[in-house]
Every structure is written in structure tokens, then in C-alpha cells.
Amino acid sequence: MLEPLTPTEWAAVRLSLQVSLWATFLSLPLGILTAWALARRRFWGREVLNALVHMPLILPPVVTGYLLLITFGRKGPAGAFLEQTFGLILAFRWTGAVLAAAVMAFPLMVRAIRLGFEAVDPKLEQAAATLGAAPFLVFLTVTLPLILPGLIAGSILAFAKAMGEFGATITFVANIPGQTQTMPTAIYALLQVPGENPAAFRLVLISIIVACAALVASELLARAVQRRIAGR
């Protein structure tokens, strides 16, 4: 029989959920904009942008974490600016874990939303525009409802990816219990201690449950939205 989670383990679970939710929420506007640009616009540097978006999927996560550290660390150019201007410190803080999770999950979010944009017939948007609707109104009333399945799928996939992020997180914000220790880093720490396999297994089980729940929710929500759109 599994024992209850310890306070340290609960802290790791709560921090993982907090980091994943913030990473998904904060990256969603940029994800929509990037997916729209890649799906609907042809511009110089488009392939470069596409490569940069997908780079975290190709690079080892530790490399991504190192790049974040030298860029957003307290002595890095972006990190020093954020600290001096806004008092925001990312390295070795839970806020940095949010950034690392968002960067690693961003490609999955953009890909799902981009597929949603590409599935929408541009003639529907053009028809709304010919009736006098402003571009932003066309996006809100026509495009956004039609891409909603992809938007939901991308958001939940990003959330699930953020929940499982390890390499970039441990490199950028370390593994400080109660401060930056998420479920994956907590599992790693427990596996280094003899006799802590049961505790690691409890967190592994919770990770599996959360990931499966996210995937099931993504599928159910996407189907519900598709049925609602088809019924119009």
C-alpha cells in the first residue's frame, strides 16, 4: 500500500502544477501569434523563425537550460535587465522554472495551433471581411472559434510537457526543495538516495495520472468543440 506524500513531495507536486499552468498561460498569446504567422504569412526569415520555434525539440534539454542560464541569469544580458528594471529574478527561482517549461513546451503548442489555422478555409475569413468586419473582429468571431480544437490541444499538450520538463529546469534553476524542485527533479533526487524508491514511485504515479488526464481532457474538449462547430 502506498504511503501518503510527505510535505516535501506535496510541495513538488504543487510547484509542478503552478509552473505548468503559468508556463501555458503566459506562452499562449505568443504561441497563437507565432502559429498564425507561420500558417498564414510568407515573409523573409519565416524558415528561420520555424527553426527557432522547434529548436528546443532538437537540442538536448541541458543545452537549452544552459542557454537560458547565460541569457537570463543574473549576469546575463536579459537577466540583468529584468532584475534592474523590474526586480524580476529568474535563475534559481520558480519563475525561471516557468520560463524553462514554457520554452520546452512552446514547439508543441505552436504546432497544434498552426495545424488549426491551416485547417481553416481562408475564404470564410475573406467573406467576413467583405461584409465590413475589421480584421481583429474577423479573428475573434470567425477564426478563433474554428481553431479552438487546435488551441485546446496545443494548450493541454504544452501543460503536459511542462509538467514533465527536467533537463532545462534543473540546469537553469537547480533542484532546491520547496523552491525550484518540481516532480521530475524530485524523482531524480529521490532515486539518488538508497531506500527512497517507494517515494519516487509515488511521484511517478502522480505524473502518469496527470499526463493521462491531460491527454484525455484534450481529446474530449476538442471533440466537444468540433461537435459544437459542426452543429452551427
% of the chain surpassing 70 pLDDT: 96
| Closest by CA position to 172, among listed 101, 91, 79 | 91
Q: What is the pLDDT of residue 187?
A: 93
Q: How far is CA 213 from CA 156, 185, 210, 220, in A?
A: 10, 21, 5, 10
Q: Sign (positive/negative) of CA torsion 128, 131, 135, 140?
A: negative
Res 1: pLDDT:
52
What is the pTM (predicted TM-score) of this model? 0.89
Taking the C-alpha atoms of residue 40 and residue 76, their distance in angstroms, rounded to an integer, is 35
User: Per-residue pLDDT tens for 30-60?
Assistant: 999 999 999 888 888 889 999 999 999 999 9
Question: How many degrees, rounded to 5, is the angle at CA 229 between CA 135 and CA 111?
Answer: 65
Backbone angles phi, psi at 42, to 5 degrees: -115, 115
Cβ atoms 49, 80 nearer than 8 A: no
Q: Cα–Cα distances in Å, from 163 out to 80, 139, 203?
A: 28, 31, 12
Judged against a pLDDT cut of 70, whether residue 155 lies above it is answered with yes
Residue 184 predicted with pLDDT over 90: yes
Average pLDDT over residues 69-78: 92
Q: Which residue has the cell 534592474?
A: 84
Q: What pLDDT does 231 receive?
A: 61
**Whole-angstrom Cα distance, residue 134 to residue 119?**
22
When pLDDT is cut at 50, 70 and 90, the band that residue 229 belongs to is: low
pLDDT band at 172 (very low <50, low <70, confident <90, very high): very high
Q: What is the pLDDT of residues 186-195, one digit of tens each?
A: 999 999 888 8
**Number of Cβ atoms within 10 Å of the Cβ of 201:** 13
Q: What is the pLDDT of residues 201-211, one digit of tens each?
A: 999 999 999 88
Three cell numbers, residue 60: 538536448
**Alpha-carbon span 39 to 147, nearest angstrom:** 12
Structure-model confidence comparison of residues 121 and 27, the more confident one = 27
Class of domain 7-230: mainly alpha
pLDDT above 80 (res 132):
no
> CB–CB of 109/20 below 8 Å?
no
Amino acid 230: pLDDT:
64
CA distance 166 to 142: 38
pLDDT at 99: 96
